[in-house]
Structure 1
Amino acid sequence: MDPEAATGVDRVPHGSSDDPDVLDFSANTNPAVPEGAREVYADAFDAARTYPAEPPDAYRDAAAAVVGCDAADVVPTPGGLAAIRLGIETTVTAGDSVLVPKPSFAEYAREVRLQGAEPTFVAHDAVLDADPSAHALVVLCTPNNPTGDCADPERLRAFAARCRAAGTPLLVDEAFLGYTDTPSLAGTEGVMVARSLTKLYGLPGIRAGYAVAVGDLRERLLGARRTWNLGRPALAVGTHCLDRTDFVAETRRRVAAERERLRDALDAAGYDVHPSDAPFLLLDVGDRTVDAVVAGARERGVAVRDATTFRGLDAHVRVAVRRPAENDRLVEVLADV
């Protein structure tokens, strides 16, 4: 990290509300958690009196089974953002250019700037047409946040091959890919994948995630990873959740059905709804103002994400896909603001 940059890079805004009286559609986390996770967390307390195993083999095995890679290629991290930082700081130096999508997760540009490098922005749906050769790294999010569209797998693999030929690593954020049946790019040469337990398993406070890479990129990530960077509770709960394939299947079914139902209802309420493969929808507010929608929903006990904080958006809010009754409440509120 560039010491000078560390004092001049601002924090970026995010969704989520800590108010228990607010129905939170501003954060894209699963409202359900895998059965038994609470008990696993409690049981891990006694084990936390000692350091966790290093490397944490059970966690790596469980993660590898999810994305279909070798366990040796899994690099545990305290959340997906830690995996993103690890990927950027091991490939980028001061003065470099990094290709970053827009609109997309604002932390990518922030992490690039912390290295003293410069983000070069390109439309999120044009990244796969870009020339990677002029950049030290390319970042891609699939499904993209906040638009929700998933990159075409064949085009993505072809782009990864172009990145390899150019000698430019590709960092793919798959935080929401588990909501789809699209295969992970984990284990692909020249590619670093970042994954998180935050979104799919509804556990943002656990801070568990992982990166996946092979070859020289893997050695960089493993070498830079801090020893004991996940505590025993995070490892235990993470391993438990990663093994819950039935939970994932049910979550995918529910989100797919509710997303389409919610999209139709919000479209009928006068919002222009962007197609999505993710557990959220991006809405153009049309004749309304974003401030009025956000404030009006909040007055009625519902939090939605002001999406104008994403580069390139000026008339949008983002809403999560929650349970049926909660989604009905969202429609009722947004139709009335």
Structure 2
Amino acid sequence: MDPDAVSSVSRVPHGGSDDDRLVDFSANTNPRRPPGAAMAYEAAFGVTSRYPSDDYADFRIAAARYVDCDPQQVVPTAGGLAALRLAFGVTVDSGETVVLPEPSFGEYDREVRLQGGVPVPVAHDELLSVDPSGHAAVVVCNPNNPTGEAYHPNDLREFLARCREAGTVLVADEAFLDFTDYPSLAGEDGVVVARSLTKMFGMPGLRAGFAVATGTLLDRLECARPTWALSAPAADVGEYCMKQSSFVAETRDRVFEERARMRNALDGAYGVHPSEAPFLLLDVGDRDVDALLDHARGRGLTLRDARTFPRLDSHVRVAVRLPEENDRLIDALLDA
């Protein structure tokens, strides 16, 4: 991290509500958690009186099976954002440029700037057409947040090959990839994959995730990662969750069906962007965004104001939740 850059970098707005009277459509986390996760957490409490084993062998094995890579390529982190910070920390020097998608997750810009790097924004749907030469890294968010589109695996691998030829690191944020049936880039040379257990398993407060890399990139990540990066409960619960294949499949099916139903219901009244993620980006048109947010809150719902994302000025983002909750959202939006 560049000490001279820290004072010029600000915090980034996010979704999420701490008002338990509201149904939270602003955060894209699963409203369900795997059965038995609470018992795994309770069982892990007994070992918190000592430091966790820093090799995190069982967590690495579970993560490797989850994304189909070698366990030795897994680097445990306290969430996906910690994986991103680690990735930028070992790839970006002060003054170097990093290509970022827009609109997309605002933390990319912040984290690059904290390293003293220079963000180079590119429209997210044009990202795979850029020349990676001369940049320290290129970031892909797959599927992209907040728009929801996923890159086709063949296109992504062709772009990765171009990055390798240019000597440019590809940083792939796959926080929402497990809601699709697309393969991970985990284990590919020249890429740092960042994964989060927050979204699929509905545990943003757990702070569990991991990075995946190979070769010298892996060596640098391993050297730079914090010792005891995961608490014992985070490691044990994360390991347990990644083994729940039926839960993942059921969640994926539910999100697919509900997302399509929500899109069909809202299309026409709103501009609904195509999505392969557990959320939808809505263009509200001539409606006043603030008034719409207030209207939804009056109905007991909170939405994500997407105007905080670059290139968006008349948009909200809504999560795909449980059917009965989605019914309330559709009614509220169609009544606005």
Q: Same fold (TM over 0.5)?
A: yes
Identify the residue that residue 117 of structure 1 maps to in structure 2.
117
The offset of 1:266, in angstroms, is 1.2
Q: Which amino acid aligns with 2:271?
A: D
Identify the residue that residue 163 of structure 2 maps to in structure 1.
163
The offset of 1:301, in angstroms, is 1.1
Aligned pairs (5 A) from 1:298-313: 298-313=297-312
SS in 2 for 1:170: strand
Identify the residue that residue 211 of structure 1 maps to in structure 2.
211
Q: Which amino acid aligns with 1:215?
A: G
Identify the residue that residue 265 of structure 2 maps to in structure 1.
265
SS in 1 for 2:192: strand
Identify the residue that residue 198 of structure 2 maps to in structure 1.
198
Q: Which amino acid aligns with 1:67?
A: V
Identify the residue that residue 249 of structure 1 maps to in structure 2.
249
Structure 1 residues 33-59: Cα deviation after superposition (integer angstroms, max 9, x where no partner): 001000111111111111111200000
Q: Distance in 2 between matches of 1:41 and 1:297?
A: 35
Q: Which amino acid aligns with 1:249?
A: A
Structure 1 residues 167-220: Cα deviation after superposition (integer angstroms, max 9, x where no partner): 000000000000011000000000000000000000000000000000010001
Identify the residue that residue 94 of structure 1 maps to in structure 2.
94
Q: Distance in 1 between matches of 2:5 and 2:132?
A: 25
Identify the residue that residue 67 of structure 1 maps to in structure 2.
67
Identify the residue that residue 56 of structure 1 maps to in structure 2.
56
The offset of 1:130, in angstroms, is 0.4
The offset of 1:7, in angstroms, is 1.6
Structure 1 residues 215-244: Cα deviation after superposition (integer angstroms, max 9, x where no partner): 010001000001101010000100000000
TM-align CA RMSD:
0.6
Q: Percent identity?
A: 60
Aligned pairs (5 A) from 1:68-83: 68-83=68-83
Identify the residue that residue 292 of structure 2 maps to in structure 1.
293
Structure 1 residues 138-190: Cα deviation after superposition (integer angstroms, max 9, x where no partner): 00100000000000110100000000000000000000000011000000000
SS in 1 for 2:139: strand
Give me the TM-score of the superposition, normalised by structure 2: 0.99
The offset of 1:293, in angstroms, is 1.1
Q: Distance in 2 between matches of 1:70 and 1:36?
A: 27
Q: Distance in 1 between matches of 2:289 and 2:136?
A: 36
Identify the residue that residue 18 of structure 1 maps to in structure 2.
18
Q: Distance in 1 between matches of 2:110 and 2:298?
A: 32
Q: Distance in 2 between matches of 1:67 and 1:82?
A: 18
Flag structure 2 segments of 5+ consecutive residues without an equivalent: none
The offset of 1:292, in angstroms, is 1.3
Q: Which amino acid aligns with 1:324?
A: P
Flag structure 1 segments of 5+ consecutive residues without an equivalent: none
Q: Distance in 2 between matches of 1:329 and 1:82?
A: 35
Q: Distance in 1 between matches of 2:150 and 2:79?
A: 21
SS in 2 for 1:134: coil
Matched, 1:335 2:331: no
The offset of 1:134, in angstroms, is 2.1
